[in-house]
Amino acid sequence: MADPAGLRAGVLGHPIGHSRSPVLHAAAYATLGLDIDYRAHDVTPGQLAGFMGSLGDADGPAPGEWLGLSVTMPLKGEMVRFMHRLSPRVERLGVLNTVVRDADGTLTGHNTDVDGIVEALGFAGFRRDPAGGRLGVLGGGGTAAAAIAAADRMGLDGVDLFVRTPARAAGQADLARALDLDAAIRPLAEFPTAAPGFRAVVATLPPRAADPVAGALEGASASGPAGADALPPLLDAAYDPWPSALATAWRHRGGQVVSGLEMLLYQAVEQVRLFTERLRTDGTGADWPAVTDAMARSVGLPAR
């Protein structure tokens, strides 16, 4: 690898104090032998233009050459308009979580949340064979869009979106259909009895927002075929506090659960790949299993 000096990266969002991204990225760069200063920056939508305009300034948000940015709520949609280029995935989803800054200042938007969801569900026990079936998604925001794209990657046939306000999920249903997935919008209250009928479930609601369905889940019966009361793998994107009420109820019913930290881990691994790609100019490859393991251990997750 190259021997970079004064390189910067960071995570943007509001609020940002809870973010584990600096810990994850620090572990990755230490394992890779790279001196990259990665910090959290509290940026609101109204402050985003000013932050982005100062990236190339010597007296900007942090001195040095920027490699990239991790983007969290509420900036995943707002950031798209500042990009010079978009990956095909971002063009389709309309949201990003990763910005790669080339040496000439070109900004490219990526979405690694999809990778994070697929890998986290795999860690929870999802298997692609047999193909088909449906993904249950709680919520209809930007992470739900990534979950829909993940359903396509996992070879599923359709998605059911469980939301409190059906009209707000219309765009996500359209996205699913554009990916040749069947889509249904359903009231959140229906989820507890419908849960066993899915191949996997992704909860994208904010912390504690799924608490009302957790209690109902404890005593819910299956809505699928007789005897089909086993719960599928669940990824609960919330991870603070943990375990969530939903995760606890899921485990009480015998289902496998992973927290949003697993998703955060795997999407961050892909971010590190993207951020450091232009530094790897000597033809050597990184030991990505070792990087992933170091990142997992840095946030208290089990070894890979």
- Check whether 61 has a pLDDT greater than 80: no
- 7-112+268-298 matches 126-255 in fold: yes
Per-residue confidence (pLDDT) for residue 64, from 0 to 100: 61
pLDDT at 220: 63
Q: Tell me the pLDDT band of 223, cut-offs 50, 70 and 90.
A: very low
CATH class for the region spanning 7-112+268-298: alpha beta
Specify whether 262 is catalytic. no
Enter the pTM of the model: 0.90
Distance CA(189)–CA(220), nearest Å, equals 11
Q: Where are the alpha helices (DSSP H) in 154-253?
A: 170-178, 191-194, 211-219, 245-252
Q: Show the tokens assigned to 204.
A: 């994208």
Q: Give the pLDDT score at 55.
A: 85
Pick from 35-44, 54-63, 276-285 the range whose average pLDDT is largest: 35-44
pLDDT tens column, 201-216: 999 998 899 999 998 9
Tell whether domain 126-255 is in CATH 2.60.40.420: no
Identify the band that residue 6 occupies on the pLDDT scale cut at 50, 70 and 90: confident
Average pLDDT, the chain: 91
Residue 198 pLDDT > 70: yes
What pLDDT is attached to residue 92?
95
Selecting among 20, 76, 89, 101, the annotated active-site residue is 76
Q: Which pLDDT tens digit goes with each residue over 149-178?
A: 999 999 999 999 999 999 989 999 999 999
pLDDT at 302: 92
Residue 204 to residues 63, 125, 136, Cα–Cα distance (Å)? 35, 19, 11
Least reliable range by pLDDT among 66-70, 147-151, 170-174, 221-225 = 221-225
Q: Where are the domains of the chain?
A: 7-112+268-298, 126-255
Residue 282 in this model has a pLDDT that exceeds 80: no
Q: What percent of the chain has pLDDT above 90?
A: 80
3-state secondary structure 78-119: HHHHHCCEECHHHHHHCCCCEEEECCCCCEEEECCHHHHHHH
The total of other beta-carbon atoms located within 10 Å of residue 285's CB is 7
C-alpha distances out from residue 79 to 53, 74, 139, 298, Å: 12, 9, 21, 28
**Single-letter amino acid, residue 40:** A
